[in-house]
Structure 1
Amino acid sequence: MLATIEIVDLLDKSEQIGQMILESDVMFEYHIAKKTLADDQEAQQLISDFRNIKDQYDEVQRFGRYHPDYNKIMKDIRSTKREMDMNEKVASFKIAERNLQDLLDDVTELFAHSVSHQVKVPRDGALLKEGGCGCGSGSGGCGCQAS
């Protein structure tokens, strides 16, 4: 019975923390930036253009330098991404998104270290990023950059 009461108490407290995050200034700014980005036709066109060129880039990556359009697509994707990233609404959204990720990382780190300082905590959404080793070891013994 005692374990059940402790679990219910933990669930209640975690819901409170979740609600605090949802009501935070960081989350508010994120939602504003997301809505502003969604309502901006120029930014949406830039995002659409980038997605289209990204599809072409993915096709070119299958063949690498041997694809006949390799140089053109590589140049196009860099310029399209730069143009998209330079848009004020896109940049504001990315900043708001990074701030929210930082908040979530900080909360996760507090939870993990309240259990033990030996718990490995990924930062900057590291679990979601491509290019990781994917081993899941967290030890770094496999050559991954876990720390």
Structure 2
Amino acid sequence: MAGIMQTLPTAEQGVPESASADMALLLTHAYELGDSLIHSAYAAEYVYWKDRVSQDDEVQGLSAQFAKAKETFAECERFGRFHPDYNAALDHVYEIQRRLDDVESVRRYKAAENSLDELLHDISRTLAHAVSATIKVPDNDPNPKASGCGSGGSCSCGGGGCG
């Protein structure tokens, strides 16, 4: 640990000596925000439905079937689409997944998870954009809507890969 500390650069001129105190204050606020989130209705609903899913016998049975169906499909997938059971195995995986998604506790759990994820993303975006509007904030959206560096847009950053 001492070796790591010796290789760290010293503070640049213009950086206040109270930077560590500022960091401690920021971390304190972050922990307070985390506590607020833990005690929010979003988190309570998420935890409630997560527990309901874990205690639901129907979900447990379907989850076991789903795991077995995925294993069977993985064996077929080794040989590609030309395996005689490939399509049937894939259809079976989708069927069990659909049946799982039809269970109320799973539907409600996924909705609560999405609500909590959106809240966390909104908070992250708010914090990042309070510093700079150009800071990228990752999310779980498979179809990003942002533009700029790394997202396929054109941001004129001079990085060469932006478009």
* TM-score bracket for the superposition, by shorter chain length: 0.7 to 0.9
Partner of residue 100, structure 1: 116
Instruction: Give the alignment of 1:81-120 within 5 angstroms.
Output: 81-120=97-136
Structure 2 residue runs without a partner (length 5+): 1-16, 154-161
Pairing of 1:1-147 with structure 2 (within 5 A): 1-123=17-139, 125-126=140-141, 138-140=150-152
Shift of 1:88: 0.9
| Cα shift at 1:33 | 0.2
Structure-1 separation of matches of 2:85 and 2:96: 16
Are the aligned partners of 1:120 and 1:138 in contact in 2 as well (CA < 8 Å)?
Answer: no
- 1:54–1:77 CA contact under 8 A, matched in 2: yes
> 3-state SS of the aligned residue for 1:99?
helix
Amino acid at match of 2:126: L
Contact 1:53–1:76, Cα closer than 8 Å, also in 2: yes
Give me the whole-angstrom Cα distance separating, in 1, the residues matched to 2:77 and 2:83: 8
2: CA distance, partners of 1:58 / 1:140: 33
Give the fraction of aligned pairs with identical amino acids, expressed as a percent.
34
Higher-helix-fraction structure: 1
Amino acid aligned to 1:114: A
Give the partner amino acid of 2:111.
Answer: I
Partner Cα distance (2:133, 2:151) in 1: 14
The answer to which structure, 1 or 2, has the higher relative contact order (CA under 8 A, 6+ apart) is 1
Q: Secondary structure at the match of 2:133?
A: coil
Give the SS at the match of 2:22. helix
Structure 1: gaps (5+ residues): none
1:30-49 per-residue CA deviation (whole Å, 9 max, x = no partner) reads: 00001111111011111221
TM-score (norm 2): 0.74
